[in-house]
Amino acid sequence: MCFVVQDLIQNYHTQRKLTFFSLESINTMSWYRLIITSVFVLVSLFGFAQSSEFVITGRFKIDGGSNNGAQIILEKDGRKVKTLAGDSRFEIGLDYQAIYIISFVKEGFVTKRLRFDTHVPEDRIEYGFVPFDFTIEIFEQFDEVNTVMFNQPVGKISFSDVIDEFDYDTDYTQSIQAKMEEVIEEVEVQKEEKAKRIAEEEKKNADLNKKVDNLTAAAQKSLSSGDPEDAIKKLEEAVELKDSPEIKQKLVDAKKELERKKIEAEEKAAAEAQAKAEEEKAGKAAGGESSAEASSRGRRKSSSRGSSQS
């Protein structure tokens, strides 16, 4: 019997959770309230474990993101009392006879708050309460979307005399639902525009990367064929398109290769010039020796003729 009643109340809380976020099922909750009110005496007989705290459980979702860096912040009677890691699932104990504001926070996302009024009749506490289960989801903050309304709680929960349990203030939820839906519509528009911008940026980057890859490949080919000047031109163009340390290093290496080739060419030209000069010098020396020998032979012949005449 106890399990049947617990399942019934759990179904009620499930319905209540859906009501909080969509308000499509408000009318269907009335029969849950009626049944739970009728059978609560049976629930009391089987009993829930008495607790000194009112327990809330649920799921914390980040639209389009992860729970890394998310937080759950608790304020009790206007004073911050606890900050918890914003895990995807949570269980929190609240003191009775207090007002809590629970904020679900992540940088870059719109903070949502829930107000829990845990004031209950003292003689009701001893029977305990069903853990209050809900799901809350926060969405990305866009500068173009006015989210001032989220400075106030998106839901208020307090003890209900009707069901003798904690429940949402559906009148309050209905009063802000239209504004919430309007903001969410604007957020969806911004999400679509952001997705479009991201897709365009990705395509632009892909085209740019392809052009840069082609330039660096052509530069490498020019280097391999011994033309560092052409490689430098292509790498400089690639650096203009993409500020890449890797490409900059290739440009430095290409300039070093060009300098090396210039030095090598200069040294080769100097060596060739020196060899030519030495060759010319050797040629002149050889020519001088030949003239001297010819002159000497001429003098000897003249001397020989003179002797014969005498």
| CATH code for the domain of 251 | 1.25.40
Whether residue 109 sits in one domain with residue 68 = yes
| CATH code for the domain of 55 | 2.60.40.10
- Does 69 reside within a domain? yes
Q: What is the DSSP letter of 49?
A: P
Segments forming the whole domain that contains residue 152: 2-168
Q: Which of 74, 119, 125, 82 is nearest to 100 (CA)?
A: 74
* Matching residue, tokens 């269907």: 28
Q: What is the pLDDT of residue 43?
A: 45
Whether residue 13 sits in one domain with residue 113 = yes
- Does 173 reside within a domain? no
Q: What is the pLDDT of residue 108?
A: 95
Q: What is the pLDDT of residue 28?
A: 42
| 253 neighbors 231 (Cβ within 8 angstroms) | no
Angle of CA points 27, 172, 48, to nearest 5°: 70
Whether residue 118 sits in one domain with residue 6 = yes
Q: What is the pTM of this model?
A: 0.60
- Token pair belonging to 238: 């690639």
Rounded to the nearest 5°, which phi and psi values hold at 156?
Answer: -125, 135
Whether residue 57 sits in one domain with residue 9 = yes
Whether residue 23 sits in one domain with residue 107 = yes
Q: Is 71 left (phi over 0), alpha (psi -120 to 50) or beta?
A: beta
Angle of CA points 148, 102, 127, to nearest 5°: 140
Q: What is the pLDDT of residue 216?
A: 92
Q: What is the pLDDT of residue 178?
A: 87
The CA dihedral of 113, 116, 117, 120, to the nearest 10 degrees, is 180
Q: Final residue of a domain: which of 124, 147, 168?
A: 168
- pLDDT < 70 stretches in the chain: 1-51, 287-310
Whether residue 38 sits in one domain with residue 95 = yes
Q: What is the pLDDT of residue 26?
A: 38
Q: What is the pLDDT of residue 295?
A: 65
Q: Which of 175, 165, 199 is nearest to 9 (CA)?
A: 165
Whether residue 148 sits in one domain with residue 9 = yes
Counting the structural domains of the chain, the total is 2
Helix 228-241 and helix 170-224, axial crossing angle in degrees, nearest 10: 170
